[in-house]
């Protein structure tokens, strides 16, 4: 915990500084949600096709899902999503006039969540 997944449009491959974004996000998760830095894990998933509304072109999407153990207040969750959006605005610079759609959400991990480290 936390389990962080970032889905992003392929058109952002060269304009999304993922290597800087992840550690910056981990620092925010530690500060806001009282996580341990060594527990923060982020996976990036590039999506090849993005359509917004009826328009299959001209848009790029980044969506961040933060999975945390249950018990965070609504205020903590909102502060974390706002901080995530701010970091995305700093680390994603779309080219070619793309309309950029950024979103984030905090979800509680299911009570069945377990992890194993080797």
**Is residue 8, in this structure, part of any structural domain at all?**
yes
| Contact indicator for 28, 20 with CB cutoff of 8 Å | no
Please provide the size of the chain in residues.
Answer: 118
Q: Find, among 70, 74, 52, the residue nearest to 62 by Cα.
A: 52
Whether 42 maps to a domain, the answer reads yes
| pLDDT score, position 8 | 97
State how many domains the chain has: 1
Q: What is the pLDDT of residue 109?
A: 94
Q: For residue 116, is it within any domain?
A: no
pLDDT average, residue stretch 91-111 = 92
Q: Residue 104: which CATH number?
A: 3.30.429.10
Instruction: Kindly tell me if the per-residue pLDDT of 95 is higher than 80.
Output: no
How many angstroms separate the CA atoms of 91 and 108, rounded? 26
* Domain assignment of residue 83, given as a range: 3-108
Is 83 contained in some domain?
A: yes
82 inside domain: yes
Q: How far apart are CA 99 and CA 109, in angstroms?
A: 32
What is the predicted pLDDT for the residue at 14? 94
The structure's pTM equals 0.94
């Amino acid at each position: 915990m936390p389990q962080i997944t970032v889905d992003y449009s392929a058109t952002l491959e060269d304009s999304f500084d993922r290597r800087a974004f992840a550690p910056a996000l981990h620092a925010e998760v530690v500060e806001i949600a009282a996580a341990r830095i060594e527990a923060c894990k982020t996976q990036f998933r590039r999506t090849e096709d993005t359509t917004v509304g009826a328009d299959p072109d001209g848009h790029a999407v980044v969506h961040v899902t933060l999975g945390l153990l249950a018990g965070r207040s609504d205020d903590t969750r909102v502060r974390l999503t706002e901080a995530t959006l701010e970091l995305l605005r700093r680390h994603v610079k779309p080219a070619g006039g793309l309309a950029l759609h950024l979103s984030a959400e905090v979800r509680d991990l299911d009570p069945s969540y377990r992890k194993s480290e080797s």
